[in-house]
Homo-oligomer: A and B are copies of this chain.
Amino acid sequence: MIDPKLIAWGSSGSTIRSIAEYGAKRAAVVGAENVYNFSIGSPSVDPPACVQESIDRLNATVPATQLHTYAPAPGLQPVRQHVADYLKAQFGVPYRDKDIYMTCGTSTALAVLCRVFLSEGDEAVVPAPFFMEYRVYVEAVGGKLVVVPPQEKTLQLDMTAMEAAITEKTRLVLLNSPNNPSGGILTRSVLTALAAMLERKQKQYGHPIYIVADEPYRELCYNAEVPFIPSLYKNTVYCYSLSKSVSLPGDRVGFLALHPAMDDYDNVFAAVYGAVRIYGYICLSPLLQLMLKDCLGETADLSAYEENRDLIYGSLTKLGYECVHPDGAFYLFLKTPGGDANAFCKRAMEQYDLLLVPGDEFGCEGYARLAYCVPKDMILRSLPAFEKLAKEYGL
């Protein structure tokens, strides 16, 4: 009677959750300092001071009924105008307030946009590795997720495979750069080639193919450029949130931005409103919207993550592990010795209290994801465990 798919979605997806639960139980037994939880991409660095200051100021000065009243569904006009102006100044795309729709983080945006762009049988193309929830959002609206394997070793985008994956059923390409889980960044040359290929395919099939650019990690890049996809391809919806770079994952504040020149703009615009409506999102808290307005452009102190990256990448490769070099985000993708990522992660967890997530979850077998958005001393404390594990695998 109740949709079995819904029950399955509600019962699964708990790999990370069940790892976390295991970790909590182990912490009670061996002490929290002896459990090395690399499983969750939740920022460990304090948000910038502007967050606390902004909330303080808003709570003290904005009349309560105004601070807590309904915002318009897409967001407060001054906030949307501010976001549009910010994006325009930063990236040169002439966004207007109406192009901006405030969302509960990028997850809302992704779920809504899958509903907007995909109907039963339509295909969404995603290069692996990819964030696992993409599959859920696509399949929940009757779409088919077409996963494009990356180049071996580097895990960079394989353009030939990408082109082969685009069919007349393709309506959507999902991109996430800097990438969760690999830390990879799509370069300007790759994106330029991708844009040209998609333009060709649009002409060939006679309908738009939209890119959804999921970019909460934009500022988390280490000596690398993160090109702004909408400036290279107009049929792009840009999705951003304060979750990662500003260390506010729980606040669920973000936005989507429709390119003002995108094809079929009016219908996309109306469909976004429609999808938000049927999913029961009414608006985003004015307090949190105004805080976003105050803090957009600020970041947490991201240098800690770069230090962590250097430390963990250096240490693990020294121990003999093969790792994808991460240029951004706060994840390391490690090639699992022995090949079977699930077996490796199970052993790491049960024998050494090292909590990692198997790469199968992200569409790449034979890898494990380490979230290094953790205190540096935890990384240091974990190294002997990684060393023993390496020896077990004969590295």
Binding site for B on A (CB under 8 A): 1-3, 5-11, 13, 40, 42-47, 51-52, 55-56, 59-60, 64-65, 67-71, 104-105, 107-112, 115-117, 119, 133, 136-137, 140, 171, 207-208, 247-252, 264, 267-288
Q: Please give, as numbers and ranges, the residues of chain B lying within 8 Å of A65 by CB-CB distance.
A: 43-47, 247
Which residues on the B side are within 8 Å of A109 (C-beta)?
A: 280
- Other-chain contact of A68, B2, B40, B107, B247 (Cβ < 8 Å): B247
Given contacts A65-B247, A117-B2, contact A10 B273 (CB under 8 A): yes
Contact A64 B46 (CB under 8 A): yes
Query: B277, A136: Cβ atoms under 8 Å?
Result: yes
A281 touches B10 (CB 8 A): no
A115 in contact with B252 (CB, 8 Å): no
Contact between chains at B10 and A277 (CB < 8 Å): yes
Distance, CA A62 to CA B282, complexed state (A): 28
User: A219 to B12, alpha carbons, bound, how many Å?
Assistant: 38
A251 to B68, CA, bound (A): 6
Which B residues lie within 8 Å of A112 (CB)?
280
Contact at A6–B278, with CB atoms within 8 Å?
yes
Contact B7 A105 (CB under 8 A): no
Q: Is the CB of B68 within 8 A of A47?
A: yes
Output the least CB separation between A168 and chain B (Å).
12
* Min distance, Cβ A245 to any Cβ of chain B, angstroms: 13
Expressed in whole angstroms, the Cα–Cα distance for A133 and B280 within the complex equals: 9
Report A355 CB to chain B, min CB distance, Å. 16
| Given A9-B278, A277-B9, residue A69 in contact with residue B56 (CB < 8 A) | no
Rounded to whole angstroms, the CA-CA distance of A5 and B280 in the bound complex is 16
- Tell me which residues across on chain B come within 8 A of A279, comparing CB atoms: 111, 279-280
The answer to whether A270 and B7 touch across the interface, beta carbons within 8 angstroms, is yes
Complex: A116 Cα to B10 Cα, angstroms: 11
Pairs across A and B, CB under 8 Å, 7 listed = A10-B272, A10-B273, A71-B250, A105-B282, A252-B282, A279-B280, A285-B288
Kindly provide the distance from the CB of A376 to the nearest chain B CB, expressed in whole angstroms: 15
CB distance from A298 to the nearest CB of B (A): 13
Closest-by-CB residue of B relative to A11 is B270
Contacts of A282 in B (CB 8 A): 104-105, 107, 252
Q: Pick from B6, B207, B247, B287: contact of A116, CB below 8 A.
A: B6
Q: A2-B117, A7-B267, A7-B271 are in contact. List 11 more A-B contacts (CB 8 A).
A: A1-B119, A1-B208, A6-B115, A9-B278, A11-B270, A110-B280, A112-B280, A250-B285, A251-B287, A252-B282, A252-B285
